Amino acid sequence: EAEEKIEVLKADIESHTAHAARLEKEIAEHDADIATWKGDLKAASNVRAIDKANYDTMHKDYSESVDALQRAIAVLKKQAHDRPQAALAQVSALRSLSLIPADAKKTIDLFLAQQDPEGLEVSAPEAY
């Protein structure tokens, strides 16, 4: 009877050893999965940090642009009154060029001296 008991216990030990080996292998697989997931999590966190930094930079730039536009609109609304325009500044700049002949410069001077603001004004078409 003792021999029988020893055999049963040896069989139990072998069974439990095999079970422990199988569990050890499963633990190793799970550890590998966990390491992979941690790496994926770290990579995703890095990508999110980069994306957030890019977003913050772009948001700041857009916010500054919108703010500047709002300030410019406010200034333009304050200055939305009629005032005489500089009579063709580009044409008057031609007078200083040495490539322009003297008679052409005289013609430009005569044109600028006309002071005909109606001929120089351009307005936007009416909206429908």
Asked if pLDDT for residue 34 goes beyond 90, the answer is yes
Task: Give the model's pLDDT for residue 102.
Answer: 79
pLDDT score of 125 more than 70: no
Residue 94 pLDDT exceeds 70: no
Cα distances (Å, whole numbers) of residue 74 to 56, 66, 82: 27, 12, 17
Asked whether the predicted pLDDT for residue 87 surpasses 50, the reply is no
Name which of 7-16, 39-48, 107-116 the model is least confident about.
107-116
Identify residue 77 by its one-letter amino acid code: K
What is the value of pTM for the model shown? 0.44
**Using one digit for the tens of pLDDT, what is the confidence trace for 39-72?**
999 999 999 999 999 999 999 998 998 888 888 8
pLDDT (0 to 100) of residue 91: 58
pLDDT of residue 117: 53
Sign of the torsion angle spanned by Cα atoms 85, 91, 95, 101: negative
Residue located via tokens 């772009």: 58
